């Protein structure tokens, strides 16, 4: 089983205090028994673990290949990795870093700005 390592998640930014206040005003309170709550948690875990499969076989890339795939420089790939913007795999104590095409595709489908400029 391969273990994937991710940099720390995005740091929450509260640049706009109004957005924070808006979020606080939209809380919902639900009353349920402890057994009902446990069942909701079980269902959530079951659903998420059955749908969250990651195909990491056959699409491994090194740093240079990942940079070419995204159309950016290797320096940019290192920056994205450090900032937690892209997933990667690295064994503890190793300098070798692996990226997976399937995972990068998922990330760039949601974050098109990570792609380099189109080259005509």
Q: Which residue has the higher pLDDT, 86 or 18?
A: 86
For residue 26, what pLDDT is reported?
63
3-class secondary structure for the chain?
A: CCCCECCCCCCCCCCCHHHHHHHHHCCCCCCCCHHHHHHHHHHHHHHHHHHCCCCCCCCEECHHHHHHHHCCCHHHHHHHHHCCCCCEECCCCCCCCEEEHHHHHHHHHHCHHHCCCCCC
Q: Using one digit for the tens of pLDDT, what is the confidence trace for 12-71?
A: 444 444 444 445 566 677 888 889 888 888 888 877 665 555 555 568 999 999 999 888
Domains of the chain, CATH where assigned: 60-114 (1.10.1660)
């Amino acid at each position: 089983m391969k273990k994937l390592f991710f940099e720390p998640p995005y740091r929450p930014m509260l640049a706009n205090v109004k957005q924070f206040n808006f979020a606080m005003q939209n809380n919902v309170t639900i009353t349920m028994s402890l057994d009902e709550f446990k069942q909701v948690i079980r269902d959530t875990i079951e659903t998420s673990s059955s749908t969250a499969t990651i195909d990491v076989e056959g699409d491994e890339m090194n740093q240079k290949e990942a940079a070419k795939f995204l159309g950016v420089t290797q320096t940019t790939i290192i920056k994205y990795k450090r900032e937690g913007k892209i997933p990667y795999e690295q064994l503890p104590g190793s300098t070798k870093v692996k990226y997976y095409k399937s995972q990068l595709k998922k990330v760039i489908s949601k974050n098109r700005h990570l792609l380099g400029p189109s080259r005509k």
